[in-house]
Amino acid sequence: MNSSILSVEPKLTANFISLAALVMGCAYIVWGKYISRSGTSKNAKHIPPGPLGLPVVGSFPFLTHYPELTLDYWAKRYGPLYSLWLGNQRFMIISDPIIAKDLMVTNGAVFSSRKEMFLKSQVIFAGRGITATPYNDKWRKHRRIASYWLNKAAVDGYTNVLDYEATVLVRDLYAFGKAGQAPINPQPHAGRCSLNNMLTIVFGIRTDSLDHPLVSRALKLSREFMNCTGPVSNLTDFVPLLQYLPNYMTARGRKLHADLVETYGGLIREVETKIKYGEDVPDCLVKTILTTNEEEQLDFVDMAILCSAFMIGGVETTASIMQWFSALIPAHPDILRKAHEELDRVVGRNRLPTVEDEKNLPYIHAIIKEVERCHNPFWLGTPHFSTEDFDYRGQFIPKGTVLVLNTYTMHHDPQRHPDPFTFKPERYINDGTLSSESANLPDAMDRDHWMFGAGRRICPGMWVAEREVFLAIARMLWAFDMKEIPGEPIDLKEYDGLSGRSPVPFRIRMVPRHNKVAEVLNM
């Protein structure tokens, strides 16, 4: 090789690096000026401050690993309402209960819409879905149909289903754990319990074992959706150029859409065939939408996505809470002992706890609320979207801003929850409200937690989720002494999932508490 070329290459490389640094520096300055002027000039100085971010991508690179810790740090630095940019989209992060209620509840007419995120709204849900759609006629129709199956009266009507699946869960844990003799990972069993509840409600069917192919397929679909659509997990939503170029995330979203329509659309077709041939079909969501579709006018994709939203939301939340409970409780034998004492006193050892027992089990109730505070599966609430310019306490929120509840910071605020990283059910021992009731308390500071969101877009499945979780956890506590396995520490800091989060896999021993357990479970 020519030696003169070799001598020039280092100079070229150095010059290129200097030029690149200069361009990036100029871009950073321009970006900062653009952000500072992005409101109207009259109101820009009143926009809540926040991190500056980088050109083009904004703060996205700082939110890729343990993003809740970064958002918590920024909340302490910039205050309980601050702004940041992800690509071309302004976000405001709410880290205070009073601000959350003021904006999302009191002023819900302004802050209850959704931004149509490219991947979630347009690709995966194809402009449908009760969680992702802005206020429009399609959203109202889907929400009305969903509410019919998720309101309190509806849940009262199928509590027998939740009751049955909670019993099956405990039986499976007993059998797979060989009556406490073998280590067991409770996670897949919790997942199947939640899945069967939603399959029954939506399609009138259930799976008969962990080996049923629908179990692994449905749970993988739910987790894939959560990992694709977390508020800070997908840069394609915020850099428009990426939406026009072939890329991994868009391809992944299209495949997920196809898989959802194939899986849940296929189950709709099966119900449709049964109805056509006069077979008996239990009352369920799909039976309702098929028999009323002349009036509702839902196309096939509408129905498939509506069912997908039920399955994803209904499975991921409740299963994760059961899993976090199972991971947390073995390290707290004192809490386990108090729970057992309460169950023996109120329920006894000759039957399983029921829904009617909940009001008399304040400590079990408190354990569940504390799990939901410590390990809310959705550490960021589903984003809201402002449809008007809004002035709030001297701060300006421009139209088109995405607002996100930072539940991690709210749940770990030492002023509201002293020693917030300690698992302490006693915090809630005098709180007898259901979370669906707590969400409507006049004082936002008295609310138990923010797992289900806030305002007009609050999770419509709260009633079923609370009842399902109570029955499962109360019965696990009634039946088992849950023990750590020596040499197998349970990692509570790591987690599986970018949006909906579960513990990383773990094993425990689930030892029957007394000789009545096998008899009551018919084992």
Binding-site positions read: 459
Q: How far apart are CA 104 and CA 89, in angstroms?
A: 19
Question: Using the 8-state DSSP alphabet, how is residue 74 labeled?
Answer: H
- Pick from 38, 73, 33: nearest CA to 55: 33
DSSP string, 21-63: HHHHHHHHHHHHHHHHTSS-TTTGGGSPP----BTTTBTGGGG
Q: How far apart are CA 404 and CA 391, in angstroms?
A: 17
- Pick from 200, 177, 203: nearest CA to 189: 177
- 3-class SS string, 235-269: HHHCCHHHHHCCCHHHHHHHHHHHHHHHHHHHHHH
Q: How far is CA 489 from CA 182, 483, 507, in A?
A: 16, 11, 9
Q: What are 405's strand-pairing partners?
A: 94
Q: Which residues contact 290 (CB under 8 A, 6 or more apart)?
A: 268, 271, 272, 275, 303
Cα–chain center distance at 224:
13
Q: How far apart are CA 475 and CA 473, in angstroms?
A: 5
Phi, psi of 484 (to 5 degrees): -70, 155
Q: How far apart are CA 502 and CA 452, in angstroms?
A: 16
Decide: helix, strand or coil at residue 363.
helix
**Is the separation of the CB atoms in 266 and 251 below 8 Å?**
no
Q: How far apart are CA 96 and CA 81, in angstroms?
A: 8
Question: Using the 8-state DSSP alphabet, how is residue 104 labeled?
Answer: I
**Which residues carry a binding-site annotation for heme?**
459
